[in-house]
Structure formats: C-alpha cells, structure tokens
Amino acid sequence: MLTSDQPIFQQIAEQIENAIIDGSLEEDAQVPSSNELAMFHRINPATAAKGLNTLVADGTVYKRRGIGMFVSPGSREKLRFRRREDYVARYLQPAVDEARKLGIPADDIARLISQLAQGGTARDAVAATAPSETTEEQP
C-alpha cells in the first residue's frame, strides 16, 4: 500500500509500473482511472491524476480521449531496462567501488553474487572466497 517514504503521486505511478513489469497490466490494457485509484487509496483524485500523468509524460501509458488510459506497447521492457539501470547505479556500482577499496577481485565478486543469488548467506559466501591461510611448519 501507500507509505510516507515518497510523495503519494509517485507511489501511485510506481504501483502501476510494478503491475506492468509483473505482467498484471499487459500492453494496451486499461489502467485504473484517477477516480478508481482515489477511491481505492482514499486519496484526492487530483493526486491520483498526477501519478497517472507522470506515466503519460514518460510514455508508459497513453490516453484514449473519452475512454481512459492504457498501457503503451513496449512499456514493460522499457520499464525493466530503466529499473535495471537504476539498480546497477544504486546498488551494484557502490558495491563494486567498495570491493575495489577492499581489494576483492572481480571474479570473487561474481562468485559472491552467484552464491548469494542461490540462497547462500553472506558469511558463507565470504568464507568461500576468502584467501586460504597457509600455516608454515615450525622446525
């Protein structure tokens, strides 16, 4: 539902984007009207309309005069690409920058990500890529 983390109109737009990305709203499917969104979320219709107009402005949805708003063809892939770019910039780039500072080689980063993606824990992933300590034999 709605939170206080970001403006309500942005949350409305993001919810519709999420429905497009997950396939709940397919290309050329009708998007809920600003009045429907306002009633559902108990918000001002102008706020809901602002969220919808944000999506119209970036080409995610289009208007059919007198009928409503619909998902634009190609929106799902466009949104997925944009979200991937954002994900890399917000999460992966800082992680790679920090890994460089720590001297973690790129192939270890790839192994860490792979292990985490397969459900491993951070501790297990790091342990699997940590350099092995060799013990020297004392005479």
Nearest 10 degrees: CA dihedral of 9, 37, 68, 21?
70
What is d(CA 129, CA 102) in angstroms, rounded to the nearest whole number? Answer: 13
Query: Do 52 and 67 belong to one domain?
Result: yes
Cβ of 49: how many Cβ atoms within 10 Å? 18
Q: What is the pLDDT of residues 40-99, one digit of tens each?
A: 999 999 999 999 999 999 999 999 999 999 999 999 999 999 999 999 999 999 999 999
- Residue 18: which domain range? 8-73
Q: Model pTM?
A: 0.75
CA count, 13 A, side-chain hemisphere, 47: 16
With contact defined as beta carbons under 8 Å apart, do 54 and 7 qualify? Answer: no
Say if residue 23 is in the same domain as residue 64. Answer: yes
Q: Report which of residues 135 and 108 the model is more confident about.
A: 108
Q: How far apart are CA 2 and CA 9, in angstroms?
A: 10
Give every strand in the sheet of 68-71, ordered side by side: 30-31, 68-71, 61-64
Total domain count, the chain: 2
